[in-house]
């Protein structure tokens, strides 16, 4: 089976009702990154950070995958689909995608502030101060904050290098190292960028932009890929 590697961002979950970050009324319009998504913010005021992720986690228990997520899961019947996502939601998995690599962490997981290898899955939305790991240390959201390392980027680059087809969906390509992954894909490989604001990237060959929402753009492209397969 051909390897279809897909890099996704917040845009693929927009039609499920989850805000993106940089669109009008996006999360970063209403919150200061340094207050809610940085180690400094956590040191300074953990309650505010906790509340920010608790509200997002509460919403995640209420929303569902959309046609974009489902169309990628369906493509697994014909391709070896590898999803590399910047998203911290679990909508790819809930849509039935088996190979999902989370670059920026997972909202339904928390980890020890002292022993980062101690990671736990939440079955409810609220994490509180005083919730501790098995060694008695405060738990924090299992999220990659700005200024923190992206531990999975090496594996993600290897997957991108092996792509026979590469797809980018619903990301502004503004955040590195995730946005740099397209640079690891072989030049002659067909690439597609599905996003209402999709744009051509200097130095990236064979890139077809699809200025459409994921919910309609992915199913349509999937039909084309199946014809070519």
Q: Which of 112, 139, 104, 108 is nearest to 33 (CA)?
A: 104
Among 7, 15, 70, 106, binds ligand APR (CB under 6 A): 15
Residue among 5 and 10 whose Cβ is closer to ligand APR: 10
CA dihedral 197, 54, 6, 202 (to 10 degrees): 40
Question: 171 φ, ψ to 5°?
Answer: -140, 145
End-to-end CA distance of the chain: 9
- Whether the CB-CB separation of 95 and 105 falls below 8 Å is answered with no
Stretch touching ligand APR by CB under 6 A, among 15-23, 132-140, 183-191, 219-227: 15-23
Among 4, 5, 7, 11, binds ligand APR (CB under 6 A): 11
The tokens describing 211, both together, are 């200025």
**Interface with ligand APR, residue 148, by CB under 6 A:** no
Max distance between CA atoms of the chain, in angstroms, equals 56
The verdict on whether 137 is a catalytic residue reads no
Binding map of ligand APR across residues 106-145, x = CB under 6 A, - = no contact:
----------------------------------------
Among 4, 5, 6, 14, binds ligand APR (CB under 6 A): 14
**Interface with ligand APR, residue 172, by CB under 6 A:** yes
Q: Which of 127, 132, 125, 115 is nearest to 90 (CA)?
A: 125
Residues 108, 113, 114, 116, CA torsion sign: positive
How many residues bind ligand APR, per CB under 6 A? Answer: 22
Which among 78, 104, 115, 137 is annotated as catalytic?
Answer: 104
Site residues (vs ligand APR, CB under 6 A): 9-11, 14-15, 20-23, 26, 86, 104, 170-172, 174-175, 195-197, 213-214
């Amino acid at each position: 089976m051909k390897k279809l590697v897909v890099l996704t961002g917040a845009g693929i979950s927009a039609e499920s009702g989850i805000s993106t970050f940089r669109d009008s009324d996006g999360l970063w319009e209403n919150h200061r990154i340094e207050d809610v998504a940085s180690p400094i913010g956590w040191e300074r005021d953990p309650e505010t950070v906790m509340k920010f992720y608790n509200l997002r986690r509460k919403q995640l228990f209420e929303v569902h995958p959309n046609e974009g997520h489902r169309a990628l899961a369906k493509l697994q019947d014909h391709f070896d689909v590898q999803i590399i996502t910047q998203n911290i939601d679990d909508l790819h998995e809930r849509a039935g995608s088996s190979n999902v690599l989370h670059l920026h962490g997972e909202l339904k997981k928390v980890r020890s502030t002292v022993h980062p290898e101690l990671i736990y899955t939440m079955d409810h939305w609220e994490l509180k101060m005083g919730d501790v790991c098995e060694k008695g240390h405060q738990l924090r959201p299992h999220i990659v904050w700005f200024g923190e390392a992206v531990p999975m980027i090496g594996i993600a680059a290897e997957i991108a290098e092996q792509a026979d087809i590469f797809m980018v969906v619903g990301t502004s390509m503004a955040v590195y190292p995730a946005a740099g992954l397209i640079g690891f894909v072989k030049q002659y490989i067909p690439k597609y960028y599905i996003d209402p604001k999709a744009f051509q990237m200097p130095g990236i060959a064979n890139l077809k932009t699809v200025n459409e929402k994921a919910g309609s753009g992915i199913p349509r492209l999937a039909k084309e890929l199946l014809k070519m397969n």
